[in-house]
Structures are given as structure tokens and as C-alpha cells.
Amino acid sequence: MSNRFTGKVALVTGGGSGIGRATAKAFAREGATVVVAGRSADSLNQTVKLITSEGGLASAVVADVTRSDEVANLVATTVQRHGGLHVAFNNAGIIGRPAPLADLDEEVWDTVVATNLTGLYLALKYEIAHMRAHGGGAIVNMASNIGAHGRRPGLGAYAATKAAVSVLTRTVAREYIGENVRINAVSPGATDTAMSRRPGESDADRDARIAAAVPLGRVGTTEEVAAAVLWLASPEAAFAVGHDLVVDGGATA
């Protein structure tokens, strides 16, 4: 295991489960002090426990990314506790209750947009403000291959927000690379998380459905996505700016 993030402080939103948890653990294994954020103290504390049980350093901050004051406090608390913020993975997001667009409740639309897009805007706003004033940093945003192809009927709100994440990433990457804030995105395909299962679907049924649709013939793992995030955030990707890295087993190839 390398030590690419030794001496760095990494913030992971949506760090209580799935890809966020796997990525937080991966950052810690490579030397980072990790702050995990989300709305559930129990799930965040479980992530912290998993990291510290392996000898890593981590802490949790309960925060709702849709609230400006809570995101501002999240970044401020991270800096106060650990002395800085060098890396951020903006992973918090929801898929929303599936429905064709004309049948989609406005409340569902508003909630998905608030979490996946406004939440990202707020995270970027406060992360960038700190990083540009302290020598720079690296940020990775969570997009999705659904934002690129849109071939999931019933997920219009999710697809629209994830397409927006990819475009916003390119825009802000150009705005701040001159101040040494390097911003990219990752777009996973179907990954072994609760979000990849349709309502009422078992893991076995999910795996069979995805195997038929993905050229690689299987669902992705959270560790595979985490590895992509760490590469984008690492010095090895120093020349990658505004890139959206697709990790989906060839589904959009």
C-alpha cells in the first residue's frame, strides 16, 4: 500500500455507507486523516470505527449538504480539528423515488436537485474557498454514467442532476486550476450498493440484470470506484483537470 495521502486531510461527504465509506477507508489506508460527513451519526460513527480499527485516523461530522450553514460548519470543523483540508470527495447524493417524469412528485424532484446539485454547489463553494486561500487542493465530484447516457426510465431527476455534475465539474475546474485547486469527477456505473437495486429487487436479481447489460458481465465494487477517486485526487493525476472518469465495466463504451 502506498502513502500518497500521508499528511493530508481528506473530507468525504456521504461517508456513512457504500462508495463513500469505501473511499474514506481507502484514503485512511494511504495515510490521510479522514473526515466523514452525512446525516446519520450512527452510520458515520461506524465508518470511523472501521477506519480506526485498522489503525487509521478519522472523525465524523453530521451535516446536511443541502444547508449552507451546515456545509460551512463542516469545512470549518474539519480545518479546526485537523489543521487543514487538502482533498475532498463530494459523494453525497440520492436517487429519489423512480417515476416517469409526468408522474414524478415535485417534492421528489426538489429533494433530488437539492441534494445532488445544490449540495454539490455548497460543498464546492466552501471547499474551494479554503483551498484557494491555503495553497490549493484536489476535489473529486460524484457524477454517474446515467448522467451521460440517460437510459434509465424513471430516473429523470437523478440523470439530470448527474449530467449537471459533470458539466459543473468542467466549469469550476477551469475557474480554479490557476489557483492550484484541481477538480475532477468520477462516473460509476452499477456498483454493489443499495442504490443499484430496483425497488423489491434482490441482490441476485440485480446481479443477473447487470451481468446482461454490462460488457464486463458483473456489478462493480465500491473498492473499484474508490480506487478511481483516489487516483484522481492523487499527485499521479496532476495533469487531469475537469475530467469525468467513467468506471462502469464498459456499459457506456
Candidates 220, 233, 156; CA nearest to 188 is 220
The pLDDT assigned to 2 comes to: 80
Half-sphere exposure of 14 (CA within 13 A, CB side): 22
Low-confidence spans in the chain with pLDDT less than 50: none
Helix (H) or strand (E) holding 185: strand 181-188
Task: Quick: pLDDT tens for 134-193.
Answer: 999 999 999 999 998 877 788 999 999 999 999 999 999 999 999 999 999 999 998 988
Angle at 173 between CA 130 and CA 237, to 5 degrees: 95
Please give the Cα distance from 47 to 26 (Å, whole number). Answer: 11
Pairing of strands 87-90, 9-13: parallel
DSSP string, 148-179: HH---TT-HHHHHHHHHHHHHHHHHHHHHGGG
Please give the Cα distance from 31 to 169 (Å, whole number). Answer: 26
The pLDDT assigned to 1 comes to: 60
Please give the Cα distance from 139 to 67 (Å, whole number). Answer: 20
- Rounded to the nearest 5°, which phi and psi values hold at 88? -135, 140
Q: Grid coordinates representing 217? A: 458481465
User: Over the Cα atoms of the chain, what is R_g?
Assistant: 17
Angle at 12 between CA 117 and CA 152, to 5 degrees: 45
> What ranges do the domains of the chain cover?
9-247
Helix (H) or strand (E) holding 195: none
Q: Is the dihedral of CA 220, 86, 73, 53 positive or negative?
A: positive
Q: Grid coordinates representing 165? A: 455534475
Length of the chain: 253
Helix (H) or strand (E) holding 130: helix 119-133
pTM for this prediction: 0.95
The pLDDT assigned to 211 comes to: 84
HEC string of 203-231? HHHHHHHHHHHCCCCCCECHHHHHHHHHH
Fold classification of 9-247 is Rossmann fold (3.40.50)
Catalytic residues: 158
Classify residue 238 by its DSSP letter. T
